[in-house]
Homo-oligomer: A and B are copies of this chain.
Amino acid sequence: MKIAIIQLNPLIGNFKRQFERIVKACERAKIQGCDLAVCPELALCGYPPRDLLDRKDFVDANRSCLEKLMHAVQGIGVVCGLVDTNPDETGNFLFNSAVLFENGRILHQVNKQLLPTYDVFDERRHFEPGRPSRPLAYKGLRLGLTICEDAWNDKDIFKRRRYALDPVTQLIGDGIDFLINISASPFHQGKRAFRDGMLAGLARKHKMTLVFVNQVGGNDHILFDGASAVFNARGEVVAQCRDFDEDEIVFDTASGMGDVHAVSQGDTQSVLQALIMGTRDYVTKCGYHQAVVGLSGGVDSALTIYIAVQALGSENVAAVFMPSRHTSRDNHEDTRLLAQNLGVAYNVIPIDSIYNDFVRLLLPAANPSEVSLTEQNIQARARGTLLMGISNRDGCLVLSTGNKSELAVGYCTLYGDMNGGLAVISDVYKTQVYEIGRLINSAGEVIPRRILEKAPSAELKPNQTDQDDLPPYEVVDGILKGYIEEGLSPDELIAGGRDRRSVEDVLSRVDKSEYKRQQAPPGLKVTSKAFGEGRRYPVAKRFRPV
């Protein structure tokens, strides 16, 4: 059996777009002699639809889209994910479903059994777990069809299992010829290696070909890397879609061979590609095509504008430099050179007159030789207001430039440098920002070298550097990763060799800055635990981490 894998980038709720793309992909699959085309989880509405699922018209639109699709695609079987209603009298109203249809008829339907409800996932909020599915007979073969999380509960892989059921083992026991898993499996660093290892392990253990079909693209903060693949019974990758882009490949069960497209290698490269895709998708799926970035002369804004240019094209990106009396001459030169290297428009708007006005009104007795926190924040907010003015004036989206280390410890100004429609690198630690910068420059200097070498500074008062207040970023980032991603307690961090004073300092800053993060723009998730939807903390609380 020849199987086409359709790695789709959906726009949430745009049924027409998804319909047209699936129809065209199925036509191409037919030309290639395929018997079956497989689309990702919830392919018709896109994943995650979130509380649009509470709307009956949205759910109905899924069903109408399927009917149209069943009509439009003839002469090939199609596996496709969609939302369906639960006919039972109790429980949630909806199923996360998949159908196999051919020539206008639904041959089989399965409903997702394991519903992830952790981190960014909210599936128990909307869906009822499906009953165990049976093998699907199609063209003389028996298919085991599972949906994403259904394949993530193997007792040999997970020390502690979230669910009592294991749908894969059940299907294997029922006797099948190959396994299909349709997914919307989000990207984070290290995830692909784990996922591929897990899927290869399942294939090997059950001596069974496994066809993994993933969604691709960015939907708000969640990035899907694609990289759909087929694993043979020895666990080898025998077909592979590229990552971070739509793709289609064909796999033949008879020969056990398929198309193998290249994927990006290594975390630094993958994160950069993920951020470019996520920025492009967020900006364009929100209906924009232009962006503006405020440049400071530091590495964060340099990386952000580089990503913007890769995502949208240099003609669609504008740089704005907003110097104050505290801005160094180096930063004037470095930002101008960066903009020139990237081929983007470069605008300079000095903020001193606005700043002076605010200070005169708020702090008439201020001592000009000491710059209070109030005055520092005024500078950031003057810049934030200018960027939003440009956004309003020119119809472009503001991309904010803060990194994860800053957002964690609150080294950022709410309604100031945090302003923007998208926080491009807000899940990238400062140390990794440098790594990505060096990778970008490895093929020739794009980011002026001095930007990668100078000491980080907010330049909100004379001779300020980040390390006046904070431990070195290597230390900060090590503590943050342990605390946020690995869930270590302060005691465990200290027992692991971290300095007690740094741990206490960093974690109490994380704790106190929760209110800022609650109002932060969506940020592209590239780690296993990002701030935002996947980390839900109270603001008013009194549980001291130290």
Residues of A within 8 A of B (CB): 11-15, 17, 48-52, 54-58, 61, 89-93, 117-118, 122, 124-125, 160-164, 218-220, 281-282, 285-286, 349, 353-354, 357-358, 361-363, 372-374, 377-378, 381-382, 384-386, 388-390, 392-393, 414-415, 419, 421, 487, 489-491, 515, 518-522, 533, 535-543, 545
Is there an interface contact between B378 and A389, defined as CB atoms closer than 8 Å?
Answer: yes
Is there an interface contact between A11 and B541, defined as CB atoms closer than 8 Å?
Answer: yes
Most chain B beta-carbon neighbours within 10 Å: one of A92, A220, A518, A538: A538
Is there an interface contact between A164 and B91, defined as CB atoms closer than 8 Å?
Answer: yes
Is there an interface contact between B11 and A50, defined as CB atoms closer than 8 Å?
Answer: no
Enumerate the 8 nearest inter-chain pairs by beta-carbon distance, A residue then B residue, closest first. A13-B543, A285-B540, A14-B542, A374-B392, A124-B124, A12-B541, A57-B489, A381-B385
Is there an interface contact between B539 and A286, defined as CB atoms closer than 8 Å?
Answer: yes
**Contact pick for A118, options B125, B363, B421, CB 8 Å:** B125
Is there an interface contact between B386 and A542, defined as CB atoms closer than 8 Å?
Answer: no
Is there an interface contact between B91 and A162, defined as CB atoms closer than 8 Å?
Answer: yes
**Contact pick for A388, options B164, B390, B415, B536, CB 8 Å:** B415
Most chain B beta-carbon neighbours within 10 Å: one of A49, A218, A353, A487: A353
Is there an interface contact between A220 and B11, defined as CB atoms closer than 8 Å?
Answer: no
Beyond the given A51-B537, A358-B389, A385-B415, please list 4 additional residue pairs across the A-B interface where CB-CB is below 8 A. A91-B162, A117-B124, A353-B357, A421-B515
Asked if A542 meets B56 with Cβ closer than 8 Å, knowing A362-B386, A392-B373, the reply is: no
Is there an interface contact between A385 and B386, defined as CB atoms closer than 8 Å?
Answer: no
Residue of B whose beta carbon sits closest to that of A356: B357
A90 to chain B: closest CB distance in Å? 4
Contacts of A393 in B (CB 8 A): 362-363, 372, 374
Contacts of A490 in B (CB 8 A): 57
Is there an interface contact between B522 and A539, defined as CB atoms closer than 8 Å?
Answer: yes
Contacts of A349 in B (CB 8 A): 361-362
8 A-B contact pairs sorted by A residue (CB < 8 Å):
A12-B538, A55-B489, A57-B491, A90-B163, A117-B125, A362-B386, A388-B414, A519-B521
Contacts of A382 in B (CB 8 A): 385
Is there an interface contact between B392 and A538, defined as CB atoms closer than 8 Å?
Answer: no
Contacts of A541 in B (CB 8 A): 11-14, 52, 285
Residue of B whose beta carbon sits closest to that of A387: B415
Residue of B whose beta carbon sits closest to that of A351: B361
Is there an interface contact between B377 and A358, defined as CB atoms closer than 8 Å?
Answer: no
Contacts of A92 in B (CB 8 A): 162
Asked if A281 meets B540 with Cβ closer than 8 Å, knowing A358-B385, A361-B354, A386-B362, the reply is: yes
Is there an interface contact between B381 and A91, defined as CB atoms closer than 8 Å?
Answer: no
The docked-state distance in angstroms from the alpha carbon of A536 to that of B415 is 23
Is there an interface contact between A91 and B163, defined as CB atoms closer than 8 Å?
Answer: yes
The docked-state distance in angstroms from the alpha carbon of A443 to that of B240 is 74
Is there an interface contact between A362 and B377, defined as CB atoms closer than 8 Å?
Answer: no
Is there an interface contact between A52 and B543, defined as CB atoms closer than 8 Å?
Answer: yes
The docked-state distance in angstroms from the alpha carbon of A381 to that of B415 is 9
Residue of B whose beta carbon sits closest to that of A322: B361
Contacts of A385 in B (CB 8 A): 358, 378, 381-382, 385, 415
Contacts of A372 in B (CB 8 A): 392-393
A204 to chain B: closest CB distance in Å? 23
The docked-state distance in angstroms from the alpha carbon of A36 to that of B543 is 29
Contacts of A161 in B (CB 8 A): 89-91
